[in-house]
């Protein structure tokens, strides 16, 4: 399927959305996961220490991106209404592979996408938030085509 991630285009056989260690994940990570979980045509898998959603339909992925984007924009606006805090977010891409197409854990190399949240309680005139928090409980995995 063709993935459009904010203007970056990828070919992927499927996308897996993860919620790792749900008992430690933040409320924002749970909210993002639930936005995807409610979509029709997605497959939910649970394990003792993580939950996964498998998306193999392009329309379902586009709807998931739209829902997550809307939720993150709302999360940003919650802070601007109070006037004392500023919030921002960034998507981080990560991947590693050897010459045979496998990663450091000897699994098929994939592209991982993580979320980083920026929170600033102080100088709102600065360009970037003062504190960045990696959302380690939530992530997306783009699987390569043909594997």
Q: What is the pLDDT of residues 55-101, one digit of tens each?
A: 999 999 999 999 999 999 999 988 766 567 888 999 999 998 889 88
Q: Which residues pair with 15 in a beta bridge?
A: 55, 142
| pLDDT (0 to 100) of residue 62 | 96
**Mean pLDDT of the region 32-42:** 96
Q: Which residues pair with 142 in a beta bridge?
A: 15, 111
Q: How does pLDDT run across 94-139, given as a tens digit for each residue?
A: 998 889 888 888 888 999 999 999 988 766 566 666 788 999 999 9
Question: Structural domain of residue 105, as residue ranges?
Answer: 2-143
Looking at the structure of the chain, the number of domains it has is 1
β-strands 131-143, 14-20: how paired? antiparallel
Q: How many CB atoms lie within 10 A of CB 74?
A: 10
User: Does 20 have pLDDT greater than 80?
Assistant: yes
């Amino acid at each position: 399927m063709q993935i459009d991630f904010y203007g970056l285009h990828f070919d992927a056989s499927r996308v897996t959305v993860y919620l790792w260690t749900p008992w430690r994940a933040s409320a924002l990570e749970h909210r993002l996961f639930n936005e995807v979980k409610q979509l029709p045509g997605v497959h939910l898998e649970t394990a003792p220490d993580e939950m996964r959603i498998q998306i193999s339909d392009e329309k379902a992925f586009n709807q998931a991106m739209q829902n997550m984007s809307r939720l993150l924009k709302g999360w940003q606006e919650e802070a601007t209404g109070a006037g004392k805090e500023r919030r921002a977010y960034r998507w981080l891409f990560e991947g590693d592979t050897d010459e045979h197409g496998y990663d450091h854990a000897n699994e098929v190399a994939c592209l991982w996408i993580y979320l980083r949240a920026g929170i600033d309680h102080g100088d709102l005139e600065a360009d970037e938030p003062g504190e960045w928090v990696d959302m380690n409980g939530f992530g997306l995995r783009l699987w390569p085509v043909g594997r």
